[in-house]
Amino acid sequence: MRIDFRVVPPFSEYATAEEARRVFLEGYMAVYGDTYGEDMHTLQTTVESTLADMAEAQIDYAVLQGEWELGDYRKMNDAVYDMARKYSDKFPVYFLGLDPGRNDNMPKVIEREVKERGFSGVNIQSWSTRLCITDRAWGPVYAKCQELGIPITIHTSINFTVDRPIGLGRPLHISEVAAEFPDLVIVANHAGWPWVNEMVGVAWKHRNVYIEIGAQSPKYMSKPGTGWDPLMVFGNSVLQDKVLFATDCMLPAQRVVKELLEAPLKDSVKEKWLGLNAQKLIERIKN
């Protein structure tokens, strides 16, 4: 069983190509463009290429997640819903994105989307909303998700903006949320680099915190000195049931799967990372 725990709708599903290029090459995400250039994988993806990537990598299905990258969470959520409905066998689980800085009542938005359109979780991009996940504006969101028994995924890593602090993605913030909402399932997107020690500690401490490795190359995660050593060590032992494979549509799926299969992990652990852990978590939230 292979499950990609995080893919996102292609920009073409909710924005123009020019809008996407402007954000990543000239706007607040320009550092990302500086690093990866105009041909970055994320700008080239389409629904068709995403499905083809999944087929090539023998991925059974994926969790489709909404974000707020281009400023309108409603458009993103509509794109997620439409894509999940059209390809229900490939995206049977899908999460909505939020922006608590809007005038919308976020708990009501969550409840409506879950009950009326079948969303199964919430994705939070604190760097995008400029609100740290410990900000009190998020409190009603966490309370509603805990009440409904649905998980949240949180961007936990470096962000490539030119005008927002890197510390918005620190794993230690998750510990504060998990301590206040102990029954809330939290998935840390991108595995917390460059604070991997913190990420391992937080996931080890809190029983409902999981680590997702989206947009990361297992080839470089396996290299000593890159900062991933704690996850590769503890993810092969005490945290082996809490790590989730993902691509985030940032890297070709086949490449990520191949590199993960070549990683210095026990074979049984590789199977857990690639899908068994995700399957158990999804069954849990579905029940």
H-type helices in 62-138, by residue range? 73-86, 106-117, 126-129
What pLDDT does 28 receive? 82
Mean pLDDT for the stretch of residues 234-240? 98
Q: Worst-scoring range by mean pLDDT, 71-80, 232-241, 268-277?
A: 71-80
Mean pLDDT for the stretch of residues 154-162? 94
- State the pTM of this model: 0.96
Asked if the 3-286 domain carries CATH number 3.20.20.140, the reply is yes
Identify the DSSP state of 11: G
Mean pLDDT for the stretch of residues 93-100? 93
Mean pLDDT for the stretch of residues 7-16? 88
Chain segment 219-236, per-residue pLDDT in tens = 999 999 999 999 999 999
Residues 5, 248: Cα–Cα separation, whole Å: 8
Q: Report residue 141 as tokens.
A: 């969101």
Residues 121, 41: Cα–Cα separation, whole Å: 26
